[in-house]
Chain A
Amino acid sequence: MPDSGYPWPIETTRLDNGLRVVVSEDRTAPAVAVNLWYDVGSRHEPEGQTGFAHLFEHLMFEGSVNVAKTEHMRLIQGSGGSLNATTNPDRTNYFETVPAEHLELALWLEADRMGGLVPALTQETLDNQRDVVKNERRQRYENVPYGDAWLRLLPLLYPPGHPYHHATIGSMADLNAADLATFQAFHTTYYAPNNAVLTVVGDTTAAEVFALADKYFGALPPREDIPAAPDGRTVPATGRPAVETVTAEVPAPRVYVAHRTQPFGTPGYDVATVLATVLGSGRGSRLYQRLADGERIAQPDLVGAYGVDLAHAPAPLIATATARPGVSGDRLREGLAEVVDELATVPVTAAELDRAKALLSTMWWRQMSTVDGRADTLGRYATQFGDPARAGERLPAWLAVTAEQIAEQAAELLGAADRATLTYLPEETS
């Protein structure tokens, strides 16, 4: 068992304004990854403002005090870099990987939009990006079969008022209602240096990054009273299963079985991660062996199970299968539930456990094989657990999970009363 999943140096500092800076030097390739985690996500959105954190992420690319509209993209790509940003229920991250000589440019751009977005934000920009996001919603959720599964699962798992009740993409109605003042306030409230972690990994030194961070970010004012998201750690059990059946234009019946586990970063979620791999990752997994190969009721490419790595409330574990031709939704739902139920009653063998751990090890090292993968990981651990070095604990923690722990968790958390089941059925064809 490795001592650490992160065998590279990590150095950290905190600027006077509260910005945490994390540096991991690696001279292997002439590139640096710059990554900012802002501790704001869709869990902070009040009712009526769903989708705002994500729409705001789009606005961050549309210019700031010293950066013209669309210039951010042009400057990073014109330096040879790759860039993007993502929003999820927990947080928003912004990242670019650039040839190492452009590190300072990347930091200048990030500082300008952290400290100078509001004066550059216009109604025209908001209207344009609102249209872009509405098209993103159509493309990813509305215009594809089963595309809205995640939107339907969340309210089955989390009650109204819970920070994970609504999906990050938001509703069309809320997006239509978004006004400029709300977004200006959103930036002022959450995009403060003391609500962010700046991580740089690659061909540079900690001294260089600390000096540049101080130069570009050091004078930005902190914000005192950043409002917390609603506390979602405790989700009251209803004592009965949540069930939804959707008849839609889909090519075959599909079932999702979802459970709340533990928050990402806890020992319980490490168990859930290994459990999900045993259950649904690869051709040697229980779901594949039982439903795709054994009973042959599920399509082999479309069975699987995975955890969604959310840290601020019990995170979802989702198992899914899609019916082979001639197999009914009922039959598939029974089969899937049976395999999930058996996690509590049929002990995980040593071979199953070793297989899962080997796959997880490779997955971990794949994430670590690029500077951008490492930067995002360090940013996560600094933001969510206060210490980037805790990234090194994850792989050893997975490797320490036992078959008994999996059986206990399955018995405790994966019972029928705590289950959300979403079934898609094809429309009747006449």
Chain B
Amino acid sequence: MTLIATRPGPGAARPYRFPQVVRRSAAGGQVVAAHLPGQNLAVALLLLDGGAGREPVGKEGLGGVLAKALEEGTAQRDATAYALAIEALGTELVTGLDWDSFQVSVQVPVDRLSAAVELLTEAVRTPKLDPVDVRRVRDDEATALRMDWANPGPRADAVLRADLFGADNRWGRPLYGDPESVAALDVDDVTVFHSEWFIRPGTLIVAGDLDRVDLDALAATVFTGAGGAAADKGGPIEVPLSDRRRIILVDRPGSVQSTLRLGHPSPHRAHPDHVPMTLAGTVLGGAFTSRLNHLIREVRGYTYGIRGDFASSRRFGRFAISSGVQTAVTAPALVEAVGEVSRTQLTGVTEDELTVARSWRAGQLSVELQSPRAIASALTTLVVHDLPDDYHARLREALLAATVEEVSAAAAAHLHPESLTLVVEGDAAVIRDELVAAGLGEVVDHTS
């Protein structure tokens, strides 16, 4: 045999390093930066307390419309001139929002960073927001959401979220809104949201070679003229578990796959069980080698992939499983997925599984945190969740130290197979009878 049969062990472990973090107050705002010596690209990101959680109920999608409207001209120049100016630097304005924050960023060769940050600031602080442009952007966004909602997934996500969190609450409605909520926005909604949340200083995040960056000058650019105190962020929200498991069927006639979204509420981000819960989620559904993917894909061949995880924001969280399975095996795939949740909740994890899960999560902190974009994202985690500079090193130690008992206890406490909502988006006429026969819970047809 020409192959070496013995699997090699690891070499000497390298010490873990997260880039050096620099924090300072300058020009009336906060700067959090990471030093990446020798890196040619740099990222600057302005983090604002203007996430979807700040949108009023009924105004879902406001942040998304405002994000697009920022580029429709500024006090200094029109939309075309703005696009040409920022793209001439080799960057585009990248906007993003989640429940806790709104982010605007640029990524450029480091010698162009200050010019790019000037343009970023211009768009964020002094957008023109001409009513004609805002209405057009709103209509375009509604159209874009209609396009997106023609794909399988968004409807199922929205149905699950509404069932978990209640459609009367902002957090029970889609993060980016839906086509109807966006179409109903008016110009004042957008300008008021901007004046309320986009004039406050926020936090400037920088990832790059700090020897070639003047942080004070960047801070002066971003924060000069900004004003307003930080707003109260609100505490964790108590979300009740459902008292029974049920299936909600969303009809998609002719669908060759059924899109599955299973979930229940789970703790918010600062919950003390965050690490063992993450690991329990990893063993159950967070990695390619997890229980769900192993059984449903690698053993059964029902799907291209299935994932499950705990996700959390400052105020709430949820456990969810998502997959697309061939229509003919919808019911058995659901039965087996629920079975794995129950098994994990009842009997916990094994040492073998946990060894993989903890090493994977810990190793990812080296492997996936390389690019300026990834480091900037890690810094936003520090800011949004009030975490210390050495958070990533501490997280790594906590992951590696977690025991089978702790992780199994987290699975027992935070998985609730009897409270799962099972949303199935597929060809209802073909799958309804089998879903009823599966006995997983009452089958309800979604109507909208």
Contacts and interface: CB of A to CB of B under 8 A. Distances in A.
Q: Do A and B come from one complex?
A: yes
Interface of A: 28-31, 65-66, 69-70, 73-75, 77-82, 97-105, 108, 111-112, 115-116, 127-136, 138-140, 142-145, 203, 215-216, 219-221, 249-252, 282-284, 288-289, 293, 296, 299-302, 322, 324-325, 351, 354-355, 358-359, 361-362, 365-366, 368-371
Contact of A101 (B10, B107, B152): B10
B17 A30 contact: yes
Nearest to B142: A325
Interface in B1-21: 1-5, 7-17
Given A135-B325, A145-B150, A351-B88, A366 B107 contact: yes
Interface in B64-87: 68, 71, 79-80, 83-84, 87
Interface of B: 1-5, 7-17, 37-41, 68, 71, 79-80, 83-84, 87-92, 107-109, 136, 140, 143-144, 146-147, 150-152, 254-257, 287-289, 294, 297-304, 324-326, 355-356, 359-364, 366-373
Closest 3 CB pairs of A and B: A80-B363, A131-B301, A358-B90
B303 A99 contact: no
A358 B366 contact: no
A104 B8 contact: yes
B41 A362 contact: yes
Given A78-B359, A135-B301, A220-B2, A365 B109 contact: yes
Nearest to A75: B7
A212 to B, nearest CB: 9
Given A73-B288, A284-B87, A302 B147 contact: yes
Given A80-B362, A129-B301, A102 B107 contact: no
A142 B80 CA distance: 37
A138 B294 contact: no
Nearest to A203: B14
Contacts of A370: 370-371
B90 A115 contact: no
A115 B5 CA distance: 12
Contacts, number: 227
B7 A105 contact: yes
A334 B368 CA distance: 44
Contacts of A283: 71, 79, 83, 87, 92
B147 A100 contact: no
Contacts of A251: 146-147, 150
Contact of B39 (A81, A112, A299, A369): A369
Contacts of A128: 298-301
Contacts of B38: 28
Nearest to A277: B87
Nearest to B15: A30
Contacts of A142: 256
B371 to A, nearest CB: 4
Contacts of A105: 7-10
A359 B15 CA distance: 36
B412 to A, nearest CB: 24
Given A79-B363, A80-B364, A132-B297, A29 B370 contact: yes
A299 B140 contact: yes
Contacts of B325: 135
Contacts of A362: 41, 90-91, 107-109
A77 B257 contact: no
A111 B4 CA distance: 9
A145 B151 contact: yes
A65 B3 contact: yes
10 contacts: A101-B11, A130-B301, A131-B326, A136-B304, A289-B80, A302-B144, A351-B88, A355-B87, A358-B90, A366-B41
